[in-house]
């Protein structure tokens, strides 16, 4: 760059507009960290969200009151409670007539809404969802709940009554509402303040305060996971992500270990180091341990075992350019979402420990943080690297980097942590959306029972998943290499790519772990991690529900 051009660039960077933008970013990041430390306050969001019981006396003429559930459940609630007959609302009879006008529950046309309003009274919107749900979908239709709530837009005083016909519907209904209110926002204009208060009912019964408190932690975890993903890597690079982890786990009774930068190379984390070494901010391998029973829990293979060790491993690529297999401009946009697996695992881990949802198990989270950047030190095609497992890998696609970092994570876990179960969660393949769609994640597992638990947990959480084939004897040959143990990308693009990518990760598990039938579950959530241009927090509710299913515990007693 010549002197004049450099001076002009320096002047541009020092302009008032640039300084204002940088100041805005610094302020936003400070608020983001403050938000992670709070369970209910979202200081950098235009919307505060609370999960707590409320009464009709809190509603006034400026209130928007949404009542959501199956049509029959809404009718039962109106008929059997005094919510609408007390504190001046006095509208139960008329509201019941409006409820009867909602679409029948067997309608295939989607949810329906009816608006009831009187002068100087709260505006009320009845929202009925369809009972039509296939066996692979969540029965309470969180997709429709999210869409119905979205029609009302931001509101300064929004109250939501979720009327669950069954207790197992409470969690997915709540998460569906929460996804309409993301935290991250960099708009320069001041956003209107909003407040959303959610109360939870089982038919006409207000659920106990402790249930609201538990679900409040879940709601915040989902929003925080989405916020980490929504925040671009100019702010949420690997070093700042590590700062956020420190802030979020501060005060928890856990152990934390971090291996960073060149220490990764020295300690044998070949996947982590080689993927992230070209970036300005070097990679971090983070281990969070909540181990009330010590690090060497007894191995148990059956469901609902005694105290055992569960390990979650998350792909945390804060930005994926594709490396030297550079993505196109359209293919690269949105690649800040490549840390969605680690983000879901981090916030679910914090939620589980805070909310005492580990049920006596040791719970360990491993976060593989790196940026797949381009530069003189970037990983090249034809390079051969050695992963933590000891396997050598010939690189034939630098854009298949996620499996390299996650393989280091599962190898570390299976060699050193004596786990009963390893779950890895990744935005791993674009093929996932072709296999299971934009809203449903794909899973691969070495055990049929674990596969079934995951499907059940998906339907109970609203973060649905569906199994892909598990045939390592057919698929692993796709990674054959003449000069190394394996390549990092399948040669045949029609070879069940979701399964094949997951099997690369499984191939790096310790032999001792697989020999004793240790459970391994791979979750590819590439598409559901982000809908449109907003992160969803997908995976948080799934992981927490999987803990409950594994421990044979209902989420809402």
Residue in 65, 97, 64 with CA at minimum distance from that of residue 83: 65
CA-CA distance, 356 to 255, in Å (whole number)?
A: 16
Q: Which helix (H) or strand (E) holds 531?
A: strand 530-531
CA 164 from chain centre, in angstroms, equals: 23
Beta-carbon neighbour count of residue 359 at 10 Å? 16
Beta-bridge mates of residue 257:
287
Q: Is 146 a catalytic residue?
A: no
Residues 6+ apart with CB under 8 A from 257: 286, 287, 289
Residue in 309, 310, 328 with CA at minimum distance from that of residue 320: 328
CA-CA distance, 242 to 369, in Å (whole number)?
A: 8
Catalytic residue among 25, 195, 267, 327: 327
Beta-carbon neighbour count of residue 419 at 10 Å? 26
Helices (H), 251-401: 262-266, 270-276, 329-332, 340-354
- In angstroms, the Cα distances linking 30 to 24, 44, 95, 235, 257 are 10, 9, 45, 11, 24
- Residues 185 and 46: beta-carbon distance below 8 Å: yes
- Residues 504 and 421: beta-carbon distance below 8 Å: no
Task: Tell me how long the chain is.
Answer: 557
- Residues 168 and 549: beta-carbon distance below 8 Å: no
Strands 362-372 and 441-445, sheet pairing: unpaired
Beta-bridge mates of residue 287:
257, 366
Residues 6+ apart with CB under 8 A from 204: 76, 77, 79, 80, 81
Q: Cα-atom radius of gyration of the chain, to the nearest Å?
A: 24
DSSP 1-45: --HHHHHHHHHHHTSHHHHHHHHHHHHHHHHHHHHHT-SS--TTS
Catalytic residue among 179, 214, 240, 403: 403
Q: Return the axis-axis angle of helices 209-230 and 16-36, rounded to nearest 10°.
A: 150
Residue in 233, 489, 537 with CA at minimum distance from that of residue 370: 233
Residue in 226, 152, 244, 235 with CA at minimum distance from that of residue 182: 226
Residue holding tokens 């881990």? 349
Q: Is 327 a catalytic residue?
A: yes
Residues marked active site are found at: 327, 403
């Amino acid at each position: 760059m010549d002197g004049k051009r450099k001076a002009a660039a320096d002047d541009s960077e020092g302009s008032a507009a640039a300084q204002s933008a940088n100041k805005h970013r610094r302020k936003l990041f400070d608020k983001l960290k403050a938000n992670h430390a709070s369970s209910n306050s979202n200081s950098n969001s235009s919307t505060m969200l609370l999960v707590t019981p409320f009464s009709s006396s809190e509603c006034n003429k400026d209130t928007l009151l949404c009542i959501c559930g199956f049509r029959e459940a809404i009718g039962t609630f109106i008929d059997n409670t005094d919510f609408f007959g007390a504190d001046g609302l006095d509208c139960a009879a008329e509201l019941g007539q409006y409820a009867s006008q909602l679409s029948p529950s067997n309608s295939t046309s989607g949810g329906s809404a009816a608006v009831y309003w009187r002068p100087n009274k709260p505006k009320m919107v009845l929202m009925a969802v369809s009972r039509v749900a296939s066996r692979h979908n969540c029965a309470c239709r969180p997709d429709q709940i999210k869409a119905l709530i979205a029609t009302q837009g931001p509101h300064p005083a929004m109250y939501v009554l979720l009327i669950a016909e069954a207790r197992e519907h409470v969690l997915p209904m709540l998460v569906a509402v929460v996804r309409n209110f993301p935290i991250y926002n960099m708009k320069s204009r001041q956003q209107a303040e909003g407040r959303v208060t959610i109360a939870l009912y089982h038919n006409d019964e207000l659920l106990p305060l402790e249930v609201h408190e538990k679900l409040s932690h879940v709601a915040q975890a989902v929003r925080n996971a989405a916020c980490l993903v929504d925040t671009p890597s100019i702010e949420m690079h690997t070093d700042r992500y590590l700062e956020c982890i420190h802030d979020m786990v501060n005060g928890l009774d856990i152990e934390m270990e971090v291996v960073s930068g060149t220490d990764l190379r020295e300690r044998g984390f070949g996947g982590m180091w080689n993927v992230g070494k070209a970036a300005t901010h070097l990679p971090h391998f983070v281990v969070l341990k909540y181990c009330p029973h010590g690090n060497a829990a007894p191995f148990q293979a059956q469901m609902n075992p005694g105290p055992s060790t569960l390990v979650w491993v998350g792909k945390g690529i804060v930005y994926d350019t594709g490396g030297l297999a550079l993505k196109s401009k359209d293919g690269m946009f949105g690649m800040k979402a490549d840390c969605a697996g680690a983000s879901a695992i981090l916030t679910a881990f914090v939620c589980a420990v805070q909310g005492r949802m580990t049920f006596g198990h040791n719970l360990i989270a491993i976060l593989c943080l790196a940026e797949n950047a381009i530069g003189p030190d970037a990983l090249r095609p034809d390079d051969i690297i050695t992963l933590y497992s000891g396997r050598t890998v010939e690189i034939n696609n630098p854009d298949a980097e996620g499996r390299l970092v996650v393989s280091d994570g599962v190898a570390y876990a299976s060699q050193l942590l004596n786990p009963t179960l390893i779950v890895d969660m990744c935005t791993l393949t674009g093929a996932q959306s072709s296999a299971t769609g934009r809203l449903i994640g794909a899973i691969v597992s070495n055990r049929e029972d674990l596969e079934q638990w995951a499907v059940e947990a998906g339907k109970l959480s609203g973060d649905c998943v569906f199994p892909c084939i598990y045939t390592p004897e057919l698929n692993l040959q796709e990674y054959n290499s003449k000069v190394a143990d394996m390549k990092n990308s399948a040669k045949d693009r029609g070879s069940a790519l979701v399964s094949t990518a997951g099997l690369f990760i499984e191939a790096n598990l310790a032999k001792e772990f697989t020999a004793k039938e240790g459970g391994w579950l791979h979750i590819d959530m590439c598409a559901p991690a982000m809908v449109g241009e907003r992160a969803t927090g997908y995976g948080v509710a799934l992981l927490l529900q999987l803990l409950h299913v594994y421990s044979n515990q209902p989420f809402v007693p």
